Chains A and B, each alone.
Chain A
Amino acid sequence: MNNGEKSEENGAEVRKSSPLRSAVINFRVVGAILMREVITRYGRNNFGVLWVVGTPLIFTVGVTILWNVYGRHGGHTGITITAFAWTGYSTVMIWRNATAHCGKAVEPNAGLLFHRNVKVVDLIYARSMMEIAGATGSTIVVGLVLMGSELIVPPKDVLMMLFGWMLLMWYGFAMGIVVGAMTERFDWFERLYHPAMYFYLGISGCFFMVVWLPTYLQRWAVWVPTVTVTEMLRHGYFGNIVVTYERPGYLCVYNLVTTFIGLLLCKETQYRIGHE
Chain B
Amino acid sequence: MIKVENLSKSYPTSRGGWRRVLHDINMEVRKGEKVGIIGLNGSGKSTLIRLIGGAEIPSRGTVTRTMSVSWPLAFMGAFQPSLTGLDNLRFICRVYGVDYKKSIPFVEEFSELGRYLREPVKKYSSGMIARLAFALSMAQEFDCFLIDEIIAVGDARFHGRCIVELFGKRSDRAMIMVSHNDHFLRSHCDRICVLVAGRMYDFDNPEDAFAFHAESVNSAETRLL
* A25 at interface by CB-CB < 8 Å: yes
Subset of 29 A-B contacts with CB under 8 Å? A3-B66, A7-B68, A8-B67, A9-B141, A10-B67, A10-B141, A11-B141, A12-B97, A12-B142, A13-B68, A14-B65, A28-B94, A28-B95, A28-B97, A31-B94, A35-B90, A35-B94, A36-B80, A36-B83, A39-B83, A39-B87, A40-B80, A40-B82, A40-B83, A111-B75, A114-B75, A115-B71, A116-B54, A275-B11
Within 8 A of A (CB), among B66-100: 66-72, 75, 77-80, 82-84, 87, 90-92, 94-98
* B159 at interface by CB-CB < 8 Å: no
Interface pair A32/B66, CB less than 8 Å apart = no
Interface pair A112/B78, CB less than 8 Å apart = yes
* A133 at interface by CB-CB < 8 Å: no
Report how far A236 CA is from B207 CA in the complex, Å: 78
Closest to A3 in B: B66
Q: Which of A11, A32, A274 contacts B95 (CB 8 A)?
A: A32
Residues of B within 8 A of A (CB): 9, 11-12, 47, 50, 53-57, 64-72, 75, 77-80, 82-84, 87, 90-92, 94-98, 140-143
Interface pair B91/A116, CB less than 8 Å apart = no
Within 8 A of B (CB), among A204-247: none
Chain A residues near B69 (CB-CB < 8 A): 14, 116
Q: Which of B50, B77, B91, B97 contacts A36 (CB 8 A)?
A: B91
Closest to B58 in A: A271
Closest to A122 in B: B95
Chain A residues near B50 (CB-CB < 8 A): 114, 274
Residues of A within 8 A of B (CB): 1, 3-4, 6-14, 25, 28-29, 31-33, 35-36, 39-40, 44, 110-118, 270-276
Chain B residues near A9 (CB-CB < 8 A): 141, 143
B117 to chain A, nearest CB (A): 13
Interface pair B55/A44, CB less than 8 Å apart = no
Among the interface residues B80, B84, B141, which one has the most CB atoms of the partner chain A within 10 A?
Answer: B80
Interface pair A12/B141, CB less than 8 Å apart = yes
Interface pair B94/A32, CB less than 8 Å apart = yes
Instruction: Using known A-B contacts A116-B69, A116-B71, determine if residue A12 contacts B91 with beta carbons closer than 8 Å.
Output: no
Chain A residues near B78 (CB-CB < 8 A): 111-112, 114-115
Report how far A40 CA is from B90 CA in the complex, Å: 14
Closest to A271 in B: B57
Chain A residues near B66 (CB-CB < 8 A): 1, 3-4, 7
Nearest 8 Cβ contacts at the A-B interface: A32-B94, A116-B54, A111-B77, A111-B78, A10-B141, A7-B68, A12-B68, A114-B55
